[in-house]
Chains A and B, each alone.
Chain A
Amino acid sequence: MHKNHQISASVILRNHQVIFNGKVIFETAEDLELLAFLKACYQDLEIDYAKFYKMDLLSKLGFIASEYLAKDQKLTPETALILQNSSGSLETDLNYQASISNENAFASPSVFVYTLPNIVLGELSIRQQLQTENAFFISEKFDASFLIVYLQNLFSTNKANAAICGWLDLDKEGYNVFLSLITQDDKGKALTAENLKENYEQFKTRA
């Protein structure tokens, strides 16, 4: 079925480690604030992108993960962005809610803009200049089977020929990021729900 499409690269951000294709390529102390970890990643990536500082934490997580994912490759212009998580934009929702619940606080228009989970798709589209298919799904758990069916349709109808897909979640308990780059390269694992799930399940604890 997916003769031409492979999982050509995967990035996991968990426990303040960056895992690229199964190898830890960057890490910080685990007790750092999430923001500090993300800024350390940004420095490690040696990029200059002022918009990064303006993003909310969910977008920063997606941005950093996709930068590592696309670091050594050129994305094709028809790379779709298909993400899932369980918390939507809940962390930013709570920030915004706190600012409107407090009589003396001033709510921020830019915080409000980030109270939509798909804003991160906009950020990634701008950064990678992708005028492509994008969708943000909310599910209790990572749903590899759904992603496979969805991608199968995008590829077979020529709406995309590659994709960044995966899980991008942030809540009070912490963060959990797993992104895969799906391309028509020869290298990588076959694009199946089992392989995607297997990649996702790795590195649940700090390596």
Chain B
Amino acid sequence: MSNLRQELKAQIIEQLNLEDLEITDINDNDELFGDEIGLDSIDALELIVLLEKDYGIKITDPKEGKEVFYSVETMATYIEKHS
């Protein structure tokens, strides 16, 4: 398992205050906004801030955000491509 994916999980838990979750509770391919993790629209905006703050990547198109934030895997792939 890659470090980036682990790092992302820790950052997501921290940034979104998901204190009831451990890194091991999130699988790379879990749907972040589905039943497994259950994020909402404000979380999506927080993830945009996270990408900019920690990876210097700006997402301005909300539609793009939806694809990027589908899972930890899609986020990691996007970061790898854009950094």
Contact = CB atoms under 8 A, between A and B. Distances in A.
Interface of B: 16-21, 38, 42-43, 45-46, 49, 52-53
B16 A54 contact: yes
Contacts of B46: 108-110
A113 interface: yes
Interface string A81-109: 00000000000000000000000001111
A108 B17 contact: no
B19 A53 contact: yes
Given A109-B42, A110-B42, A113-B42, A50 B49 contact: no
Interface of A: 48, 50, 53-54, 106-110, 113
Contacts of B19: 50, 53
A106 B49 CA distance: 7
Contact of B20 (A50, A107, A110, A113): A50
Nearest to A53: B19
Contacts of B53: 106
Contact of A53 (B18, B42, B45): B18
- What are the 9 A-B residue pairs with the smallest beta carbon separation, nearest first? A109-B45, A53-B19, A106-B53, A53-B17, A54-B17, A50-B20, A110-B42, A106-B49, A110-B46
A73 to B, nearest CB: 26
A166 to B, nearest CB: 26
A120 to B, nearest CB: 16
Contacts of A54: 16-17
